[in-house]
Structure 1
Amino acid sequence: MVPEAIGHLVTLGLKADEAEIYLDLLSSGPVPPDRLARETGRDPGEVRRALSVLAGIGLAGPVDGPGSPMSALRPDPVLEVLTRQREAELAGARAAMTRLYEHYRRHSARYDADSMIEVVSGTAAAERVRQLERAARTEVRGLDSPPYYADADANEIELENLARGVRYRAVYGRLALERPEYVAENILPCGKSGEEARVLPEVPVKLLIVDDCAALSGADRTVLLIRSCGLFDALAGLFEMCWQVALPLGLADDTSGPEIRPSERRLLALLAAGLTDDQVARVLGVSRRTMFRYLENLMARTGAANRFQLALHATRNDWLSVDAQPGAPAVRSVPL
C-alpha cells in the first residue's frame, strides 16, 4: 500500500477505503470480489460497496461481463474528471467563504464603514502579509526600506512566485542597500530570479501591492490591508510614480541593452542612489580597491576625467535609462 497514492486519491474525492481497494486491485490483478475480501481481510460487503463506487466512476470494471472478476481500469480519464470536479468544489467553497466573510463584516458590531480597509497588528501582521503574497496571481509591486522585523533570509515566497510566472517590481530605498546581508540574502537572489529592481535615495512608504490589494506597513508593526478603493488607487499611483523616476539596479545579469557590463551598470546605479564608496563595495561584494578598479576602467573606456564626466557619458549613452511605457518619454538618471 502506498500512503502517498492513497492521499492523492482522497484529495480527488475518493474515500480512504475506496482508494485502498483500488490500489489492492492494481496489485492483485483481476480478482473476484469475495476473494479480494479474503486476501485483504476486509468485510465482503465493504469490498462490494467500494467496487460498486469505483465501477460507477470508471476506475474498476468486470473483466468479462457481470459476475466476472473485477479489474482496475486506467485512471487518466477519470482522474481528469475528478480533478475538474474538485476544482469546481474548491472554487465554490472559496466564493461561499468570501460571501460569509462579507456577511459577517456587514453585521458585526465592530464593522468599519470602510470595509475595504483591514487593520492587522502584532505578530499576526507578518503572517497576514505572507498569506497575501502567496496568493499572488499576476503581479507584486513593492516599495522597500528598513526597518525589517525578520531575518535577512531569501524570500522563498517571492522565489516560488517568480518561478510560476508572477511578475515582481520593486523599488528599494538607499537604506535597504546599506545592509549587505539583506542585499546578499534577499535582494540579489530575487533579482537573479527575475525581479525587476530599481533604487531611489528614499522611498516615501513601506508598501507591498499584490494584484488588487495593498499592504501598507507602519513603524509599530501595524499593517493596513487596502483593497480596491480610492486609497488603493492612490497607493498604486504612488508606486508607479516612484518606479518611473527610480534607477535600474540590473540584478538579472543579462547582456542585453547598452555596451556596459551588468556589474558596471549596477555600480553606476548605486552611486547615483547616493551610496558612499564603502557602501557600494559592500553591496557589490567586492573590496574598495576592486570597486575603484571598476570605476577606473569605466572612466578609461569613456575618456572621462572625473565622475561628473562619466555621469554625462552614461546619460548620453542611456546606460542608466529606464525603459518607458509605450508612448511615454524616457526617464533618465540624474548626474552622479
Structure 2
Amino acid sequence: MFEALGLNSLTESVYLAMLRFPDAGVSDLTRTLAVDEDQVRAALDDLARMALLRTPASGTETPRPVNPKVGLSALLARKEAEVARRRQEIEETRVAFTALLAQQSDTRSRMSEDGVERVEGIDEIRERLRELAATCEWEACSFIPGGAQSEASLTASRELDADAIERGVRLRTIYLDSVRNDQPTFEYAQWLAGLGSEVRTVPTLPLRMLIVDRKLALVPVDTENSAALAVEVSNRGVLTGLVALFNSVWKTSVPLGVTRRRDDEGLSPQEKQVLRLLGEGHTDEMIARRMGVSVRTARRVASTLLTRLNAQSRFQAGARAVAKGWIDPEDLG
C-alpha cells in the first residue's frame, strides 16, 4: 500500500500493528505478526529512519508510532520533491548529453594528461596488474577487502608475488580480519608472510587498491564491483593522498599472526567497527559486505551489541555507544 513511500511490506505491517497497539513491544509485535525478532528490529530501524517512529533516548519507554497524518504526509511531500528533482536532473542531463558526446575525445586526452587513465573490464585489469607487478622496482602496497579471495585471484597472484619478493620488492598487504575465516585465503596470506612479505589485517577497508613504487595506483571506480572499471592514477597530488591513506590504515592494522586485544569495555575491534556501522544505519547485509563476514555473523554480533546497550534500534545503539565512550562521535559518518 505504501511501497511508493519507501515502506516494504514488513515495515508497513509493523507500522500498522503499532498504530493498532501503541504499547506493543518487540516481543508483542513478533507474536502478532508471526515473524522473527530480527525482522521486527530491522523494520523498526526503517521506521525510525523515515521519522515514523519516536524512539525515546532513555530507552525506558516503548517506541511509539508517529501519527500517520503527520508522518506519511511528510514522506509523501519528500517523495514529490524527489520526483520533481529527478525530473529536473533528467532534463539537465538531456541538455548536457550532446555536449558530452562532442567533448568525449577531448575528455579522454585530458584524463591522460591529468594522470588518470581508464582500465576497463576484468581481463584488462588483470593484464595491467601483471604489467605493474613485473615493472615494480621497490615497493607495492595493497588493500585487499572482501574476506575470502577467489581461487582464480589467488592463483594469478602467487607467481607475481613470488617473483616480486625474489627481486627484493617490499610487499605491504592489508587484508580484512575476517581473512582468518577462509582457509585458502589465510594460507595464502601465511605463505606471503613466510616469504618475507609484510601482511597485516584490519576490521574494514575503504576500497581495493594497489600502489606501485608510490608512482602509480590502481583503484576501482565502483567499490561494489571492482572488476568492471578501474582507474590508473599517476597524478602526484592524488597519489600523495592515496599513500597517506594507506599509511594511516597500516598504522592501525596488526600483523597477521597477532591476536587483537579487547579494549577496557571488553569490545573486540570487530565489535567496535560494527557499532560504528550500526550508528550509521547500515543493514546487516551491508555490514557483512564491509567486514567480509557472513550475514549471519553480522546479525549475531549486532544483536549482541544491541542487547548489551539495551537499545531498541541500531541508531539508538550508536548513540548510546557514543554516550558511553565506546566509540568516538567523529567515527560516525
TM over 0.5: no
TM-score under structure 1 length normalisation: 0.41
Larger Rg: 1
More helix by share: 2
The structure whose RCO (Cα within 8 Å, separation 6+) is larger is 2
